[in-house]
A and B are shown apart, each in its own frame.
Chain A
Amino acid sequence: MKAGVKLVLLGAAILALAVSALYLKRSDVYLLSLYAVYLMATFGLNLTVGYAGQMSLGQAAFFGIGAYVAAILLKLGWPFLLVLLVAAAVCFLLGLALGFPALRVQHHYLAFATLGFNVLVYLVMRNEEKITGGTYGISAIPRPTIVGVDLNGHVAWFWFTLGSLVVLGALLWWLLRSPWGRAFAALRDNPIRAESLGINVTAYTLLAFAIGAACAGVGGVYFASLVEFIEPGPFHFSTSLMLLLAVIVGGQGRFFGPVVGTIVIILVPELLRSSSAPWLKFMQVWYLAVFGVGVVLLMVWLPGGLLSIPERFARKAKAKS
């Protein structure tokens, strides 16, 4: 398929999603918005994990920081776009501060550093009641009005989130095709070769990590406004593991990998939870166990993720002929 055709198809799909919101139930539109919000975080994580080849197990912490920054500042009456900028900047800088010591040493240390960071952030959210409201959280987070457009309705908010997601995706797409993005891939494939070609390995890896964190921060801002109430629960490190698995399951280093992976970790479990069919009751309880088995099997047979299936078939067909 030509690039132009693909672009048209993608645009049509996004448009269809936007129009469908008019006909769906309120709860389903909410679910789609939630999906779009998490997709911002996994898009960012894909840059860190898939393109720069770094294990990050703290994406939920950055997501949470974004959400709390948004909740606090929006309640103080700050304009939404400024809050967005602040949240992204805070996460970017925290990402740099955390990644610097870890990446100076060995690459898998980042996994442990980010996991520990997530534990610490969760503790702060739970314990610093004056700032974060502790386990009671922060409620009545307002949805903004931007340039006179009221975004309070569930459809309006979904459209705004979807539009923002498309912008974020386009930015990442551009970044990955810029010399910077090429440098990220060079790092992942062979760090020593990249270094000998004059790429500053630590700086670029750090940058990829910090940009991924900033995307999560942005996602967190939309999350806070969507849910209108936040508490520490969703930002536990188990969410980080799920976000990482979403990237891997979809296909790390493939631009649309997170789109598939996030369906598996967000949409499917939420749909299961809201359904009342008796035969689905079993899956509600056991979904994560099935998912765990699925991940193990996927790693054994299809380490490239679900999106690598077409290539796998193509290669097999070629091998036969």
Chain B
Amino acid sequence: MGELVQLVVSGVATGAIYSLAALGFTLLWQASGTINFAQGEFVMLPAFAMLFCVLAGMPLWLGVLAACVAAMIVLGWGFKRLIVDPLMRHGVIPLVIATLGLSTLLKTTVRAGYSAEAHQFGSPFPGGVFQVAGINVSWADVGTLLVAGIIVIALQTFVTRTVTGRAMQAVAQNTEAARVLGIDVKRMVLYTFLINAVLAVVAALLITPTYLAKFDMGDSIGLKAFLAAIIGGFNQTRGALLGGVLIGVLENLVGFYVSPAYKEGVALMLFLVVILVRPEGLLGKVEERKV
């Protein structure tokens, strides 16, 4: 029993990280109809940015701050201006292909320009475990849950309680109506891209200590973020959270009780079951088809 609870707790922690990446993914989709196939690389780049900062002798918190600023400029504003804006008029598919090209570019640049090896990345949390009611819990899991929780609550508060946040929601729900009401749609979409960049930095900070910084670390994170978003419901923010946590927990359980070799296949299985049984996702709403 204790074993099971431990697996669930650490699974929730890993899942929370997938959720953050999935959250950014759904936000972009809702606000601008962008499907970003480079989402995994958007986590990988900040990991290396923070690694460089730490290697250059900066304290970690300063590195995180620098990575946030850099990510907002490059992965937020730059990505929107240079890739999304010019491609929006061509529709979804060219944008998907362009982000695939971007993902190849980013991976190769890191591999060719820096290194193909996996690099150690210090955890922001203290090591070791403590016991609660006979169950071992690691400080890293607690820290991960705490940080992810704070980020999600802060984001929810921003979106529901502030004028800007509500305007962003309006854009996501109905872009045309929002424009008619005088909301600066372009600016709101830009905010979404900036938030996505910050979420990616936080996900990188939390996941790199276990995944290690490697040029292709984004492959698996990106795929799980997509699948988590669909499992939870593509058009629901809460869905991304649920989907991520579900994948994290099930991966841990399958990895322990069935076979560690097939851990990576869990997300796909869950995805296939969900779209067979509840195609709109666990928390999703059915969308009307447009002609």
Give which listed residue, B108, B223, B272, contacts A115 with CB less than 8 A: B223
Which chain A positions have C-beta within 8 A of B54? Answer: none
The residue that A292 contacts in the complex, of B102, B265, B279, B289, with Cβ under 8 A, is: B102
Stretch from A100-108, A178-186, A208-216, A312-320 contacting the other chain: A100-108
**B96 lies within 8 A of chain A by Cβ:** yes
Closest to A242 in B: B104
Q: Is the CB of A192 within 8 A of B94?
A: no
Bound CA–CA A176/B198 (angstroms):
47
Contact between A300 and B227 (Cβ–Cβ < 8 Å)?
no
Task: Confirm or deny: A12 has a beta carbon within 8 angstroms of a beta carbon on chain B.
Answer: no
Verify B35–A108 contact, CB threshold 8 A.
Answer: yes
Contacts of B219 in A (CB 8 A): 237-238
B203 at the interface (CB under 8 A from A): no
Chain A interface category by residue count = 35 or more
Docked-complex contact B101 and A286, CB < 8 angstroms? no
Question: In the complex, what distance in Å separates the CA atom of A302 from the CA atom of B94?
Answer: 10
* A244–B107 alpha-carbon span in the complex (Å): 18
Is the beta-carbon distance between B98 and A295 smaller than 8 angstroms?
A: yes
A115 closest partner in B (C-beta): B223
A207–B120 Cα distance when bound, in Å, is 47
- Is the Cβ of B268 less than 8 Å from the Cβ of A117? yes
User: A163 on the interface (CB 8 Å rule)?
Assistant: no
**A303 touching B90 by the CB < 8 A rule?**
yes
Residues of A80-116 whose CB lies within 8 A of B: 101-102, 104-106, 108-109, 111-113, 115-116
Cβ contact within 8 Å between B268 and A109: no
Flag A269-301 by CB within 8 Å of B: 1 or 0 each. 000000000000000011111011111101110
**CB of B96 to closest CB in A, whole Å:** 7
* Residue A123 lies at the interface, judged by CB distance under 8 Å to chain B: yes
Given A116-B267, A300-B87, A289 and B95 contact (CB-CB distance below 8 Å): no
Query: Considering the complex, which residues of chain A in the window 202-243 have a beta carbon less than 8 Å from any beta carbon of chain B?
Result: 237-238, 241
Q: Which residues of A contact B35 (CB under 8 A)?
A: 108
- Is B86 part of the contact surface with A, judged by Cβ < 8 Å? yes
Cα distance, A288 to B103, chains bound together (Å): 10
Contact partners of B261 in chain A: CB under 8 A:
123, 126-127
* Contact between B223 and A116, CB atoms less than 8 A apart: yes
Q: Decide: B112 and A299 in contact? CB cutoff 8 A.
A: no
Among B92, B262, B271, the residue within 8 A (CB) of A116 is B271
Q: In the complex, are the beta carbons of A101 and B275 less than 8 A apart?
A: yes
Is A266 an interface residue, CB under 8 A from the partner? no
Q: Name the B residues within 8 Å of A263 (CB-CB).
A: none
Contact of A37 with B by CB under 8 A: no
Residue of A at shortest CB range from B263? Answer: A123
Pick the residue among B97, B259, B276 that contacts A245 (CB under 8 A). B97
Given contacts A115-B223, A299-B97, contact A123 B104 (CB under 8 A): no
| Cβ of B184 under 8 Å from chain A | no
CA of A206 to CA of B289, assembled, Å: 20
| Min CB gap B211→A, angstroms | 16
CB of A168 within 8 Å of the partner chain = no
Q: A45 at interface (Cβ–Cβ under 8 A)?
A: no
Range of interface residues on B (Cβ < 8 Å): 35 or more
Cα A109 to Cα B279 with chains together (Å): 10
The reply to whether the CB of A166 lies closer than 8 angstroms to some CB of chain B is no
Are B101 and A293 touching (Cβ within 8 A)?
A: yes
- Given A102-B275, A105-B279, A123-B264, the answer on whether A112 and B227 have CB atoms closer than 8 Å is yes
A277 to chain B, nearest CB (A): 18
> Which residues of chain B are within 8 angstroms of A300 by Cβ–Cβ distance?
86-87, 98
B99's nearest neighbour on chain A, judged by CB, is A296
Contact A296 B101 (CB under 8 A): yes
Asked whether B100 lies within 8 Å of A295 as measured between CB atoms, the reply is yes
A289/B262 in contact, CB under 8 A: no
Asked if A70 is at the interface of the complex by the 8 Å CB criterion, the answer is no
A303 neighbours in B (Cβ, 8 Å): 90, 94
Please indicate the chain B residues that have their CB under 8 angstroms from the CB of A299 in the complex: 87, 90, 94-95, 97-98, 101
Q: A105-B275, A244-B100 are in contact. Are A116 and B108 (CB under 8 A)?
A: no
Q: Does B83 belong to the interface (CB within 8 Å)? A: yes
Alpha-carbon distance A292/B102, docked complex (angstroms): 6
State A294–B105 Cα separation when bound (angstroms): 9
Give the chain B neighbours of A285 by CB distance below 8 A: 112
A13 located at the interface, meaning its Cβ lies under 8 Å from any Cβ of chain B in the complex: no
The answer for the CA separation of A116 and B87 in the assembled complex, in Å, is 26
Of the listed residues B103, B104, B109, B261, the one surrounded by the most CB atoms of chain A closer than 10 A to its CB is: B104
Smallest beta-carbon distance A27→chain B, Å: 25
A234-270 vs B, CB cutoff 8 Å, 1 = contact: the mask equals 0001100100110010000000000000000000000
Which of A101, A112, A192, A295 sits near B289, CB closer than 8 Å? A192
Q: Taking the complex as formed, is B226 at the interface, i.e. its CB lies under 8 A from any CB of chain A?
A: yes
Interfacial residues, chain A to chain B (CB-CB below 8 A)? 55, 101-102, 104-106, 108-109, 111-113, 115-117, 119-120, 123, 126-127, 192, 237-238, 241, 244-245, 248, 285-289, 291-296, 298-300, 303
Give me 14 other A-B pairs in contact (C-beta within 8 A), A104-B275, A244-B97, A288-B104 excluded: A101-B276, A106-B279, A112-B227, A113-B268, A116-B268, A116-B272, A288-B107, A289-B104, A292-B105, A292-B106, A293-B101, A295-B97, A296-B101, A303-B90
Chain B residues with a Cβ under 8 A of chain A? 35, 83, 86-87, 90, 92-98, 100-109, 112, 219, 223, 226-227, 230, 259, 261-262, 264-265, 267-268, 271-272, 275-276, 279, 289, 291
Q: List 6 A-B contacts (CB under 8 A).
A: A116-B268, A116-B272, A192-B291, A237-B219, A244-B100, A288-B107
User: Which 10 residue pairs of A and B lie closest in terms of their CB atoms, listed nearest first?
Assistant: A295-B101, A292-B105, A116-B268, A292-B104, A288-B108, A289-B108, A299-B98, A127-B261, A105-B279, A285-B112
